[in-house]
Amino acid sequence: MEPTASTGETPHRTDKPEDRIRHFPAPVRDAFARFQAGGDAAALEPVVFAILEDFIPKTPAQPLAAVPLTSRLIDDLGFDSIAITEVVFFTEDLFGIRISNEEILKVQTLEDLLGFIREKVAARPGC
């Protein structure tokens, strides 16, 4: 009999990570490729900013790369719980990580999120 409960693993997707970011700007796709290849830890930041800019409910006045890292996702940048859920799902699938509701509720600012994803990615099996 097949298990029916959640395995705790990232749900299986048939599309490849690079397909999921095909609408991102080319420099971001390049940064993702460098990050995935394991050689460039700094390349994570532009990828996370691109994800946030993709799901932010209202187009920000300036690129997220230009706002302070202490900016709060909800209070300063206008995210709502739906958009944060979309960011979590997308990030889980793209990086092959798993983020629980309890974990994401502790993330308040841009730098919280960057640090959190860095830790999660570093803890991936095989990394």
Partner 1 sequence: MPLPVISGVGFITSIGNSRPSVLRSLRELRHGIEPFEFFGNPNLQVKVAGTIKGFSFPTPNWRDWNWPDEFTVDRELLRGLAPHGVYALCALQQALDDAGLAASDLTSSDTGLFCASAGSPFLLANCLNQLRETRGERASPMGVVSSIAGTLNFNLAAHFQITGAVCGFVSACSSSSHALGYAMDEIRLGRQRRMLVVGAEDMTAESIMPFSCMRVLSTNPDPAKASRPFDVGRDGFVGTGGAVALIVEDAGLARSRGARVYADLVGWGQAGDGHSVAISHPQGAGLSEAMRRALADAGVASGEIEYVNAHATSTPGGDRSEALALHSVFTSAGARPRVSSTKALTGHGLSLAGAMEAGFCALAIAEGFTPGAAHLEQPDPVCDGLDLPRASLDEAPRFILNNSSGFGGSNVCHVLRRPN
Q: Which residues bind partner 1 (CB under 8 A)?
A: 6, 11-14, 23, 54-59, 82-83, 85-86, 89, 93
Q: Which is nearer to partner 1, 59 or 100 (CB)?
A: 59
CB of 39 to partner 1, least distance (A): 29
Rounded to whole angstroms, the Cα distance separating 49 from 43 reads: 11
User: Quick one: tokens of 12?
Assistant: 């299986």
Smallest distance, Å, CB 38 to partner 1?
26
**Nearest approach, Cβ of residue 112 and partner 1 (Å):** 21
For partner 1, which is the closer residue by CB, 57 or 63? 57
* 51: Cβ contacts below 8 Å, ≥ 6 apart: 87, 90, 91, 94
CB of 59 or CB of 62, closer to partner 1: 59
Q: How far apart are CB 51 and partner 1 at their closest, in Å?
A: 13
Q: How far is it, in rounded angstroms, from Cα 39 to Cα 35? A: 6
Phi and psi at 94, nearest 5°, equal -70, -45
CA distances to 12, 48, 60, 111 from 78, rounded to whole Å, are 31, 16, 9, 16
Question: Cβ closer to partner 1: 29 or 118?
Answer: 29
